Structure 1
Amino acid sequence: MAEIIEDVQMDTQEIEQETPPSDVFMAPSIYKADIQAGKSYSHFSPIPQQVAEDMSTEVVLGVDEAGRGPVLGPMVYALFYLPIELHHSLLADTHHFDDSKVLTPQVRSNLMRKLCTKGSDLYQAGGWATRLLSAQDISAHMLSPAVYNLNAQAMDATIDLIKGVLAQGVNVTEIYIDTIGRPEIYQKKLERIWPTIRITVAKKADSLYPCVSAASVCAKVTRDAALDVCYEPYHNHDAGVDESAGGAEVKVAWGSGYPSDTRTSTWLKQNMDPLFGWGNECRFSWSTAKELLEGKKADVAIDWPVEDDSNDMRMTDFFAGRNESGGDELVDWFGKRVTEEMEVF
């Protein structure tokens, strides 16, 4: 049974906090080609100097995410680590990290820029990593016959990021993780994987532990920048003319990407292809998109490709050999449009 994602109802101020600023910092974790192609990927910063000089240094690591609920754009998991003795003094006392939702977009961008600026105290002491889960991959996994739900995808993203840091030889002795689900179940699973590391999984960890706050900023700024990159192909398409402004051209943005944002819901309705829906920036598994496509607004009935019970053939088998593409059928299917380069027989 597919996991149901309920839209989080937000007030105007919360929606603005979730909306990417026009001058969002493009961190090294932004791979434009992969984002626009609907691919998921991971990014790891270099090991910070203060850790690299002595790899036995005990390190604290925090994990948080951004973009779990939106219908548009990726979900991003991030971690941040630094020497334990600097945990509170550098992050909380000096730079005032906090849950990204209570920081202004400008403050978040400025903090992320400092993390990425060589020579800064944050760059020398702290390392970070992100795992970007594209909207296309999230939907493909949630709608596949063997459902891979969002919680499982999130857990695997967290584990993969931590494993990536440990594989570099970083001496992580404490881990703090923010969670939406039941913390005790999450924590026990991680403790079985890393029994020698002290692990704390807690709700609102992003406001309790500075390393999680820093991870929250890394995740949110990466998510904001990625959403901006996703929108680039629509810049000219969504340009309009505002007669009240003397005919000046006005861009119609999709806002925060959350269904409760009227800019987002309006954009989805105005830009829906009756057959293909939207591009790979949209989570087709969200009820907001499914309802628009499957009858309420669409004029064309949609049948997603599934295996035929009577044999082992799929629709896509007529276009490519079973073993030729090496990809995921549903991942490759979403958001494809017929172009001039594609011949239809």
Structure 2
Amino acid sequence: MSIDLSEFEKNNGNNYIVRSEVPEICKSEPCCFGIDEAGRGPVLGPMVYGICYCPISKNEQLAEMGFADSKTLSEEQREELFTKIYEANQVLGYKMEVLSPNIISNSMFRRTKCSLNTVSKDSAIKLLRLTIEEGANIKEVYVDTVGDASKYQAYLKELFPDLEITVTPKADAKFPIVSAASICAKVCRDRAVKSWQFPEFDEINETPYGSGYPNDPATKQWLSNVMEPVFGFPRFVRFSWSTADKILEEKAVPVYWDDDEDGDNGAKGTPSVMSFFSSKDSDPRLKKHHYFNDRHLTQVTDF
């Protein structure tokens, strides 16, 4: 079944929400609501938060559909289960937020630090609020925990005092509605990664990047190969992860600012950053980076 990621593919530097219509029965009958994520740990690709909801009266039917933690299933099995969710649109609703690697890293590097746990909780809360605003009659909420379960549950209860909220580890293995949310999140992430557009590359890059997890040698090699000495990594990379940061420290061009304490322009033998902005049209290997072309920037010659 189709998950329309076309708008996200046009600008994968921003977050994007995929949603179903709210089934009419979910507006009238009290519903259970599950929350789970996919792709929390990788250094590559987006993290996706998924939610799924249905009438409490249909909970047994949901269990009979065979949902399980998406991590225990093959990609083919997850796709089959997502098809079931899609086809049960008279009783099941879903949403997924695709959290861009670019947004994740920028959030974690803001002047006011924003941890990955905070990014995760903000996404979960946003999806719950949106679903309620769209008219779904949510009564019970089940959440796979981020951090301390009791503190997270108390926090959600303060925000949504009228809802019965359960936050627990391994919720995707305990509650079918969370398992369904897990399927939605994982399938959406898999498709977002497969269809990822790399505007930073002049040609399609088909070099395998492995699992995307920091301890994967293939992933580390890919990161090392694609790093641009001045501009760093493509937006596919969570540059706030230590794996990426170490490669930048080792291979990127050092940057020295005018107010550095040593008062000079940097280490001897290191070219000025400004030298990378100068015209090099005569050498095709040093053609202008897409960053400048995309923004129609030209070198200033008169001051």
Paired residues for 1:200-219 under 5 Å: 200-219=166-185
Higher Rg: 2
CA–CA distance in 2 between the matches of 1:235 and 1:171? Answer: 49
> Structure 1 residues 232, 97: closer, same or farther in 2, change over 3 A?
farther
CA–CA distance in 1 between the matches of 2:10 and 2:152? Answer: 29
Q: Is 1:344 aligned with 2:290?
A: no
8 Å CA contact 1:36–1:230 kept in 2: the answer is no
The correspondence for 1:84, drawn from 56, 67, 73, is: 56
Describe the SS at the equivalent of 2:244: helix
CA–CA distance in 1 between the matches of 2:204 and 2:293? Answer: 16
- Give the CA deviation at 1:133: 1.3
The correspondence for 1:146, drawn from 94, 112, 128, is: 112
CA–CA distance in 2 between the matches of 1:140 and 1:303? Answer: 21
- Give the CA deviation at 1:136: 0.5
- Give the CA deviation at 1:253: 2.2
8 Å CA contact 2:43–2:241 kept in 1: the answer is yes
Matching residue of 1:74: 46
Structure 1 spans left out of the alignment, 5+ residues = 1-24, 239-250, 305-334
> Structure 1 residues 165, 175: closer, same or farther in 2, change over 3 A?
same
The correspondence for 1:277, drawn from 232, 239, 248, is: 232
8 Å CA contact 1:279–1:336 kept in 2: the answer is no
The correspondence for 1:106, drawn from 59, 76, 93, is: 76
CA–CA distance in 1 between the matches of 2:58 and 2:146? Answer: 27
- Give the CA deviation at 1:26: 4.6
CA–CA distance in 1 between the matches of 2:111 and 2:132? Answer: 34
> Structure 1 residues 200, 217: closer, same or farther in 2, change over 3 A?
same
Matching residue of 1:62: 34
State which drifts further: 147-156 or 33-42.
33-42
CA–CA distance in 1 between the matches of 2:226 and 2:18? Answer: 32
When the two chains are superposed, the root-mean-square deviation of aligned CA atoms in Å is 2.2
8 Å CA contact 2:12–2:100 kept in 1: the answer is no
The correspondence for 2:122, drawn from 156, 167, 179, is: 156
CA–CA distance in 2 between the matches of 1:226 and 1:47? Answer: 23
Please list the CA deviations of residues 198-230 of structure 1 after superposition, one character each: whole Å capped at 9, or x if unmatched. Answer: 100000001100000000011111111111222
Q: Is 1:129 aligned with 2:95?
A: yes
Describe the SS at the equivalent of 1:156: helix
Matching residue of 1:315: none
How many percent of aligned residue pairs carry the same amino acid?
38
TM-score computed with the length of structure 2 as normaliser:
0.82
8 Å CA contact 2:107–2:114 kept in 1: the answer is yes
Matching residue of 2:17: 42
- Give the CA deviation at 1:262: 2.4
8 Å CA contact 1:27–1:112 kept in 2: the answer is no
Q: Is 1:195 aligned with 2:161?
A: yes
- Give the CA deviation at 1:36: 4.0
Q: Is 1:167 aligned with 2:133?
A: yes
Q: Is 1:297 aligned with 2:251?
A: yes
CA–CA distance in 2 between the matches of 1:303 and 1:83? Answer: 59
> Structure 1 residues 263, 26: closer, same or farther in 2, change over 3 A?
farther
- Give the CA deviation at 1:343: 1.6
Matching residue of 1:180: 146
Describe the SS at the equivalent of 2:3: coil
CA–CA distance in 2 between the matches of 1:302 and 1:231? Answer: 29
Structure 2 spans left out of the alignment, 5+ residues = 258-288
Paired residues for 1:303-322 under 5 Å: none
Describe the SS at the equivalent of 1:169: coil
- Give the CA deviation at 1:49: 4.1
- Give the CA deviation at 1:236: 4.5
Describe the SS at the equivalent of 1:273: coil
TM-score computed with the length of structure 1 as normaliser:
0.72
- Give the CA deviation at 1:114: 3.1
Describe the SS at the equivalent of 2:52: strand
CA–CA distance in 1 between the matches of 2:227 and 2:254? Answer: 14
